[in-house]
Amino acid sequence: MKARTSRLLLFLSLLGLLAACGGENVKPAAPAVAAPVTPVKPVKIGVALGGGAAKGFAHIGVIKMLEANGFEPVVVSGTSAGSVVGALYASGMNAFQMQQKAVALDEASIRDIRLFSGGLVQGQKLQDYVNTQVGNKPAEQLKKPFAAVATQLETGDRAVFVRGNVGQAVRASSSIPGVFEPVSIGGKTFVDGGVVSPVPVDAARQLGAEFVIAVDISSRATGQRPSGLLGAVGQSITIMGQRLGEQELARADVIIRPQVLDIGAADFEQRGRAILEGEKAAMAAMPQIRAGVARLQQARVASARSADARAAALQAEAVQRCQDSRSRIDKLRGKEKDCGAQAR
């Protein structure tokens, strides 16, 4: 009897020792938590197309090379001539389609001179032409976000049109003082956007562009007397907006300047050369564009990875806390707790 009792006590003692060794001091490893992978969206590229009358055909060449090199803009802003090209591009046309339109363009189809207003261009033909090209869609229904920039004549404030009648917005943006009749919209009067925003970088940012490519075709005051009324008016606007334009251009990521300054404001015969100069200037800027977009994308990837690492660490901690909350009996039995919900 004593031997049996002794063996029973010995068994209970061994059991107690095993319990003491196996319980709280030995923690099973928490199951591995798969690190989340946050998808990184591509950089949203915007183009800010400046004013410059017939020199504006250069914008087509720039866009052609951007597309060819895989940098298709998804946001478009334009001033004056830039608003014309920008509206067509935002409607869904690619650069080659725009070039076909440019080659076939008859200047008479967009110019309507009214003698009783002092020989000024009315601008209705330009408005109708643009609306026809964009399928008479309002700005908010175009395929790409689009902004046409004009100047409110009463206050001198910048006006950014992102909704409503596209042709009317382009007409307002292109109404060169002294050449076009001012445009009345909603009881307010508007003239060419080049007076306050020659290259609308800020408008592209407001539309959500993360990397802005500015195309500057504006003339510079060279000390030479311009020829003709249109040249004189154009240079006057250039002088007014030059300082302001430089400040806004400084907020662009890349500035492209096609060599078109010697093309006259009304020299539509030089459209082919203007397009070619746009292509050449864009290609010259391509290394800078490629490097800038890559830097922005790499920074975004690094930020996403850092966020993923933090999220994975927090999930692992949550799982470990869940495992640590097991009962004493579960720990003795080596039974893990279902902590799958903690990892999600």
SS (H, E, C) 279-300: HHHHHHHHHHHHHHHHHHHHHH
253 catalytic per annotation: no
Q: Residue 250: which of 193, 198, 176, 297 has the closest Cα?
A: 198
Contact 147, 207 (CB under 8 A): yes
- Whole-number Å distance between alpha carbons of 48 and 211: 11
Q: Determine which one of 80, 83, 173, 197 is catalytic.
A: 80
Look up residue 9 and give its two tokens.
């006590």
Give the C-alpha separation, 309 to 229, whole Å.
Answer: 64
Residue 76: which region, alpha, beta or left (left: phi > 0; alpha: psi -120 to 50)?
beta
Report yes or no: 277 and 58 within 8 Å, Cβ to Cβ. Answer: yes
- Reduce the DSSP state of residue 261 to 3 states and report it: coil
Concatenate the DSSP letters of all residues of 73-128 into one string: -SEEEEETHHHHHHHHHHTT--HHHHHHHHHH--GGGS--EEGGGTSEE--HHHHH
Provide the terminal-to-terminal Cα distance of the chain, rounded to the nearest Å.
59
Residue 80 is among the residues annotated as catalytic for this protein: yes
Single out the catalytic residue among 91, 173, 192, 218. 192
Taking phi over 0 as left and psi of -120 to 50 as alpha, with beta for the rest, 178 belongs to left
- Cβ atoms of residues 195 and 151 within 8 Å: yes
Give long-range contacts, CB 8 A cutoff, 24+ apart: 297-303. Answer: 297/40, 297/42, 297/43, 300/40, 300/41, 300/43, 301/40
Query: Which of 108, 49, 266 lies closest to 176 in space, CA to CA?
Result: 266
What residues are labeled active site? 80, 192
